[in-house]
Amino acid sequence: MPERCRVVLCGFDPMLVRGYVKTGFRALWWYLPKEVYEEFEVKPGDVICGKLLAVYNYNGEKQEEPNLYVEWPTAQETGYAVVVPGSAIVKFKLTEFHFIEFEIQKIKKLKGYKEEKISFADEARSQEDIEAMEAIEEIRKSPVYEEVEVYPGEVKQRKWWPDDKMKLEFHLDFVPP
């Protein structure tokens, strides 16, 4: 079974997040429980898989209960930080002043990459397109993962942000991109 945690989101102020969401740059992230990070040796490029159970605002009020399965990557610099994708930031109007409950079910460990040769001629529709595109080929690298279940058969909950610490005196509201 999983590791459940309630964590605070970290990141930039909402105006920067607005721009970073548009460019695809990392805008918000959260940190794994130290025990999960160390025990499973989470590295940059690994993917954290599980359910986003709840989103809390800066007053500690439950804003959303999506119960949504997601796969979020770890940061390029460290496997300790889990990057929140721009689509989730926009959908749930997240800022660095939000908290989330997350159930970590498995970790996709990056094992390497496999190369795939893609010919654009295969995608062409007319004979002229085929002749023009015949020589154009591209090699793409696709990640290869090994899936590791997190604590099969048991539930752990060690990183849990306290309710009384979820009421923030200062906050900035979400700014849509």
Res 131 pLDDT > 90: no
Q: Can you count the helices (H) and strands (E) in the chain?
A: 4, 10
Q: What's the pLDDT band for 25 if we cut at 50, 70, 90?
A: confident
| 117-128 pLDDT, tens digit each | 876 655 555 666
Domain ranges, ordered by start, for the chain: 3-112+145-165
pLDDT of residue 10: 96
Residue 53 forms beta bridges with which residues?
none
- Band of pLDDT at residue 18, cut at 50, 70 and 90: confident
Cβ neighbour number for residue 118 with a 10 Å cutoff? 12
123: closest CA among 105, 138, 107, 111?
A: 138
Half-sphere exposure of 28 (CA within 13 A, CB side): 27
pLDDT, position 136: 67
Mean pLDDT, all residues of the chain:
90
Q: pTM to 2 decimals?
A: 0.85
Exposure string over 152-171, b if 16+ CB within 10 A, otherwise e: eeeebeebebeeeebeeeee
The tokens for 171 are: 């906050």
pLDDT in tens, 153-165: 999 999 999 999 9
Average of per-residue pLDDT across 134-156: 87
Top pLDDT among 105 and 132 is at 105
Question: Encoding tokens for residue 56?
Answer: 């809390």
Greatest Cα pair distance in the chain: 68
Relative to beta strand 47-56, strand 62-64 is: antiparallel
Determine the straight-line distance between the first and last CA of the chain, rounded to whole angstroms.
37
Please tell me the distance from the alpha carbon of residue 63 to that of residue 54, in angstroms, as a whole number: 8
- 90-110 pLDDT, tens digit per residue, is 999 999 999 999 999 999 999
123-126-128-129 Cα dihedral, nearest 10 degrees = -20
Torsion angle, CA of 107/50/18/78, rounded to 10 degrees? Answer: -20
Share of the chain above pLDDT 70, in %: 89
Helical H segments across the chain, by residue range: 14-23, 34-39, 86-92, 127-133
Residue 13: its pLDDT value, please? 86
